């Protein structure tokens, strides 16, 4: 087993979201998934904090438990022209191209996610509804605040125990205010990837390595 400590340089939070909780959107596009006809089991929201940046969306993927979904359709193509100014500003903040960081490259990044993963929704929502859903879920998690309140901040000189990351997230997302009993919000399980230096990963997703347990597995009570 790998060492449980490492310099916090980059980590991913992978959140598996059941379909029974949906967010409304700010326009009249279809925003809800029809649960009677959905062709997938859950959404996988992947957030990342690369060195010198902050939490951003890495991906928002409809997926199945028994088979990964990707490249499901060729159409409709992503249409940059119908992205409103407000939505563009949200993308620059929450789903940016971290290396280039400008409006066009961020939209190109989201366009690729839509073509590869967003089109796997069944029934298929409007592209703007898909984007707004991902952004609202990321905002609702407020992971930066959660970790900061637990004393966990990016620092090349400070070692962070992965168990502390797990506990901080669990307390905020999965427990009541007085920590008296677990509640089910909208998370099936969480997985933390922690990358230390180049190419060394301390924790792997259970989807990639069945011998490593997910960060949290919720059981309905």
Distance CA 185, CA 174 (A): 7
| CA-derived radius of gyration, the chain | 18
SS3 call for 18? strand
Q: Please, what CATH class does the domain formed by 5-217 belong to? A: alpha beta
Please tell me whether residue 81 adopts helix, strand or coil conformation. helix
More confident residue, 69 or 5: 69
Q: How many angstroms separate the Cα of 20 from the Cα of each of 66, 69, 185, 188, 203?
A: 19, 19, 10, 11, 28
Helices (H) and strands (E) in the chain, counts: 5, 8
Average pLDDT value for the chain: 63
Q: How far apart are CA 39 and CA 123, in angstroms?
A: 7
pLDDT the model gives residue 15: 58
Strands (E), 139-217: 159-161, 189-196, 200-201, 216-217
Helices (H), 70-158: 85-94, 103-116, 127-141, 143-149
Give the CA angle between residues 122, 127, 116 to the nearest 5°. 65
Amino acid 101: pLDDT: 57
pLDDT of residue 148: 82
Share of the chain above pLDDT 70, in %: 47
Average pLDDT over every residue of 16-41 = 46
Query: Where do we find the tokens 């969306």?
Result: 57
The arithmetic mean of pLDDT across residues 7-20, rounded, is: 49
pLDDT tens, position by position, 90-122: 888 888 876 665 666 678 888 988 999 989 887
Q: Are 82 and 124 in contact (CB under 8 A)?
A: no
Residue 128: predicted pLDDT? 92
Looking at residue 127, its pLDDT comes to 92
Domain-wise residue ranges, the chain: 5-217
CB 116 within 8 A of CB 70: yes
What percentage of residues in the chain have a pLDDT greater than 90? 4
pLDDT surpassing 60 at residue 83: yes
| pLDDT at 125 (0 to 100) | 86
pLDDT (tens digit per residue) in 180-190: 444 434 444 44
Task: State how far the Cα of 97 lies from the Cα of 11, in Å rounded to an integer.
Answer: 17
**Tens of pLDDT, residues 136-176:** 878 877 777 887 888 877 655 666 666 677 677 767 665 44
Q: Estimate the crossing angle of helix 85-94 against helix 103-116, to 10 degrees.
A: 80
């Amino acid at each position: 087993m790998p060492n449980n400590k490492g310099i916090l340089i980059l980590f991913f939070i992978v959140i598996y979201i059941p379909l029974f909780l949906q967010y409304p959107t700010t326009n009249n596009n279809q925003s809800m998934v029809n649960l009677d006809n959905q062709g997938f089991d859950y959404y996988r929201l992947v957030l990342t904090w690369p060195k010198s940046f902050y939490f951003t969306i890495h991906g928002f993927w409809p997926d199945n438990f028994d088979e990964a979904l990707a490249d499901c359709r060729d159409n409709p193509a992503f249409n940059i022209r119908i992205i409103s100014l407000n939505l563009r500003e949200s993308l620059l903040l929450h789903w940016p191209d971290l290396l280039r960081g400008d409006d066009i490259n961020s939209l190109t990044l989201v366009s690729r996610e839509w073509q590869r993963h967003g089109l796997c929704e069944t029934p298929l929502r409007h592209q703007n509804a898909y984007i707004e859903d991902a952004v609202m879920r990321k905002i609702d998690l407020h992971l930066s605040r959660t970790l900061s309140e637990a004393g966990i901040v990016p620092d090349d000189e400070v070692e962070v125990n992965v168990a502390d990351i797990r506990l901080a997230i669990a307390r905020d997302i999965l427990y009541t205010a007085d920590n008296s009993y677990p509640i089910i919000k909208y998370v099936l399980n969480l997985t933390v990837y922690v990358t230390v230096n180049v190419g060394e990963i301390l924790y792997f997703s259970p989807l990639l390595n069945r011998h490593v347990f997910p960060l949290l597995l919720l059981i309905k009570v």
